[in-house]
Amino acid sequence: MVGEYQIESLGNPKLIIIPSPFELTDHAWQFVLGKVKGGATLLISGRFDEDAHFHTTGRQNEVGLNYDSGLLTARENILTWPEGEAQLIYSGDKTTYLDRAFFPDGRTFSTQTLGQGKIIFSALPLELNDNLQAIGEVYKYAAKQAGFTSAYSTSLQDPAILICPTRFPHATLYVITSESGKATNVSFEDHHSGKHFSTTLEAGRAAMLVVAEGGQMLASYGWK
């Protein structure tokens, strides 16, 4: 995670996500645009046309996302992207202070090529809604557009279980953590080797394993 005042430490990521920014310094925005023009994919949601002093900049028009801004007055909104549709929910008093973008044709999602990269844009402030599943699905779509390939696949749908892979030249480290209040069966397939792995992870515990490119388990911790 990089703040807009430390933007020079961004590096050269394939995917940049700016969650519901509303306003950004011009320096940070231009720096990110430079990365996009160089080949990165940017996912951004909600209006982003104001600078650090809440002055309208028109920067959305400069990148081909010609929208008007306005109040987000509906608690339930439908977001439609190329691979799905989801209901975004804005509970409490969010509709009294949130803004959104409005395209002339009514669409809620757009992709714009810029240089060698692209901008993926949600007209609704995605991360400020209550439907966390929708956020994950859009992030998954953006990762695919940025050229990411998944290290594993699983049928597990429990949001309390996190499977985090880190790839090395000849192996993959998997860290599995539980925030569940009960023991959970965790099963996944390592895509590089095609091997399946399964364990029962106790409530609130973590486990790690290192899987070689041939599927051998090189090391493990808390994996039964």
Q: Which tokens hold the place of 217?
A: 């388990």
Domain boundary among 145, 168, 199: 145
Domain boundary among 77, 110, 145: 145
111 and 175 share one domain = no
133 and 23 share one domain = yes
Burial of residue 73, with CB atoms counted within 10 A of its CB: 0-12 exposed, 13-18 middle, 19 or more buried? exposed
State the residue range of the domain holding 171. 152-221
164 and 132 share one domain = no
- Among 110, 37, 131, which residue's Cα sits nearest to residue 67? 110
90 and 178 share one domain = no
Asked if pLDDT for residue 105 goes beyond 90, the answer is yes
- Among 132, 116, 126, which residue's Cα sits nearest to residue 48? 126
- The fraction of the chain above a pLDDT of 70, given in percent, is 100
Q: Where are the alpha helices (DSSP H) in the chain?
A: 26-37, 59-62, 132-145
Average pLDDT, the chain: 94
165 and 140 share one domain = no
pLDDT at residue number 184: 94
100 and 130 share one domain = yes
pLDDT at residue number 4: 86
141 and 35 share one domain = yes
In this prediction, residue 75 has a pLDDT band, given cuts at 50, 70 and 90, of very high
Our count of domains for the chain comes to 2
In this prediction, residue 61 has a pLDDT band, given cuts at 50, 70 and 90, of very high
What DSSP string describes 63-79?
TT---EEEE---SEEEE
Summarize the confidence of residues 43-62 as an average pLDDT.
Answer: 93
Summarize the confidence of residues 44-69 as an average pLDDT.
Answer: 93
Note the residue count of the chain.
224
Summarize the confidence of residues 94-117 as an average pLDDT.
Answer: 96
141 and 168 share one domain = no
195 and 93 share one domain = no
Return the higher-pLDDT residue of 203 and 1. 203
In this prediction, residue 96 has a pLDDT band, given cuts at 50, 70 and 90, of very high
DSSP 146: T
Residue-wise pLDDT for 159-200, tens only, equals 899 999 999 999 999 999 999 999 999 999 999 999 999 999
What is the C-alpha to C-alpha distance for residues 149 and 133, in angstroms, rounded to an integer? 20
What is the C-alpha to C-alpha distance for residues 62 and 157, in angstroms, rounded to an integer? 40
Sort strands 109-114 and 99-102 into parallel, antiparallel or unpaired: unpaired
pLDDT at residue number 5: 86
Burial of residue 188, with CB atoms counted within 10 A of its CB: 0-12 exposed, 13-18 middle, 19 or more buried? buried
Residue-wise pLDDT for 3-45, tens only, equals 888 899 999 999 999 999 988 999 999 999 999 999 999 999 9
Q: Which tokens hold the place of 64?
A: 């081909």
124 and 68 share one domain = yes
27 and 114 share one domain = yes
Contact 131, 95 (CB under 8 A): no
CATH code (residue 160)? 2.60.40
61 and 93 share one domain = yes
Domain boundary among 125, 145, 165: 145
